[in-house]
Structures are given as structure tokens and as C-alpha cells.
Structure 1
Amino acid sequence: MSRAMILAAVGAACLTATVSIAKKYTDYTPQKGLWEVNAIEVDPNHVDDYLTGLRKSQVPGFEVMKAHGIIDSYKFLVRNGYNKGAPSVLIMTHFTSAAMLEPDQARDQMVEKEILAKFSEEEGKVAVAGYEKYRTFVDDGLWSEVTMAK
């Protein structure tokens, strides 16, 4: 008898329980574009060196990409504190659309030429020399931003 009561209670609970499923455009709205997030573990004694190198090597390229509408934003985030094996620097670039990730030979070669005019390949090699001693790439992913309904 008690087994039947337990089964009845479980059945009643299943009937009264409702599954809450988030609804796109009701509960949240996907935003246009994609964020590429590079997560890098940097030795805590070299974070300033790394950021200085990124300012010289990455920012000019990001600005060229911005001027051509490939990206519309970029950010550098630095972790306060250190946790071995976890990222301490995030490099984030926002592509205006997923289509910007598609190859376009004319655009890509023009952008590369402009970047190399601002920061040569040789300067790039010098800027990253030594990075392998104090940085490790942890993750590189594409993220979609969503805005939650109020």
C-alpha cells in the first residue's frame, strides 16, 4: 500500500511540476556579432610586460580592423589575483557579424598590408620574443552576447 502511495505522490508531483524553458526574444535577446575571447595565463611578475607588448603589437591591428568595420570593439581584461592554470589576461574582440570571420582575400590582404605598415613583421617578432617564457594560452572561443529581459 505504501508503495502505491509513493508512486501516486510522484505522479502527482510530475503533473504539477512545470518545466521552465527560456524563450529567445522573451527572456533574453541575442545580440549581433560575436566576441572572440582569448584567455591567457601570464606569470604574475610579467603581466605589465605582456600588456605593454599587446599595446604595441595588438592595438594597431585592432584599430585597422575597426576602421574597416571588421570589429567594432576590443577589450583587455586583467584578473586581480593569480590562480595557477587559470587565465589572468583576456583579450576580447567583437566582430560586427559572423560573416566577418569568413575569408575575403581582397579585404584580408588589404588589412594585413595596413597592419604591417603600422607594425612590421619584424617588429612583431621582437614584441613577442620571450612571451613563451611567461604566457600560456588557456582558451580561445567565440561567444555570443545576450541581453536579459527586465
Structure 2
Amino acid sequence: MKLSQICLATACLAASGTAQAEIFTSYAPSKTVTNVTMVKVNPNRVDDYLDGLKQTWQPSCDIQKKMGDVVDCGIYINEAASAGPFNMILTVTFKDAAAMEPNETKYKALNTELRKYLEESKQKSIVGSYEEFRTFWGEGNFRRVEWKSK
């Protein structure tokens, strides 16, 4: 479901005078938290950006999944002709909010594993080139709405 549809559904629910949705009665926020990063990539450079993400971002996601804090990662490309302010979304779904907290031990373990796949100098070179063709548009942390049975 598109982010705009989720926002619209939430707004309609909040604005409706007859709807009596109540947290933990008719719905509950999920335990998982999805970090969503919205990016504007120059149209002729999407493949270049994806190639870089495959070498840098994806291994990091895979390692965090093995470590148990991340349950899913995804990259989504807007195929609409008028993509709006961003044309790519990167998502990382954490098992819970606590998994997002800073943790020095986990950070060091992640970097140790990442270095097995990618040397730091190569990572800096790849990531440094991103500035040529992408701009961050925004970021947010979202919880899925889980409806309760009546």
C-alpha cells in the first residue's frame, strides 16, 4: 500500500465523527517499527544507485537480520510518470522499538561482519558518489495498524 494511501486512511479515520476507533480496543499498533527513508534519485542514475545499495545497504540489512534486530528490508521504486518529490523508498523493519536503540556492542559487531563483505575504503568511495545523484526527501518510523476482531 502506498504511503499516501496509509496517510489518507489514517486522516479519514481521525476525522470521521461516526468512527469510534480506539487504540487497543479496535486496533493496536504493531510491535515492529518500519523506518522509511524517501529518496529522490536522478532518473538516469537509478541503476547506479541500486548497484551501490546492493554493495553497501543490502549487506548491512542482511547482517542485521541475522543478528535478530531486523525482520525485513526493502527498496521500492515509484513507477509513476509524475513521481512527486521522491521516487524511491528504502525500508528497514525492526522487531521492536528497542532494536532501534543505539547499542555499541551491536554496532561494532555489525561493522565487523560488514568488513568481511566490503572494505571500508570501498564503502566510503561508493557512498561518497551517492551525493552526485540522490537527495534525501524525508524519513519516518511507522507502526502498522493491526485491526482487532469484533
TM-score where L is the length of structure 1? 0.79
- Give 1:76's aligned residue: 75
Quick one: distance in 2 between partners of 1:69 and 1:21?
A: 37
Distance across 1 between alignment mates of 2:22 and 2:66:
36
Does the 8 A contact of 1:44 with 1:82 survive in 2?
A: no
Which blocks of at least 5 consecutive residues in structure 1 are unaligned? 1-17
Q: Distance in 2 between matches of 1:47 and 1:124?
A: 18
* Counterpart code for 2:27: Y
Total equivalences in the alignment: 133
Q: Distance in 2 between matches of 1:120 and 1:98?
A: 30
* Separation in 2, partners of 1:78, 1:98: 26
| % identical equivalent positions | 27
Counterpart of 2:29 in structure 1 is 30
Structure 1 counterpart of 2:55, which letter?
K
Measured on the aligned residues, the alpha-carbon RMSD in Å equals: 1.9
With structure 2 as the length reference, what TM-score do the two structures score?
Answer: 0.79
Amino acid at match of 2:71: D
Larger Cα-atom Rg: 1
1:43 corresponding residue in structure 2: 42
Stretch deviating more after TM superposition (91-100 or 128-137): 128-137
Verify the 8 A CA contact 1:31 1:144 in the aligned structure 2. yes
1:58-113: CA deviation from partner (whole Å, max 9, x where unpaired): 11111110000110100100001354761111000001111112222222211121
- Kindly state the Cα deviation for residue 140 of structure 1 after the two structures are TM-superposed: 1.3
Q: Show the counterpart of 2:113.
A: 114
Q: Do the aligned residues in 2 keep the contact of 1:82 with 1:88 (CA within 8 Å)?
A: no
Q: Tell me the equivalent position of 2:66.
A: 67
* C-alpha separation in 2, matches of 1:85 and 1:134: 16
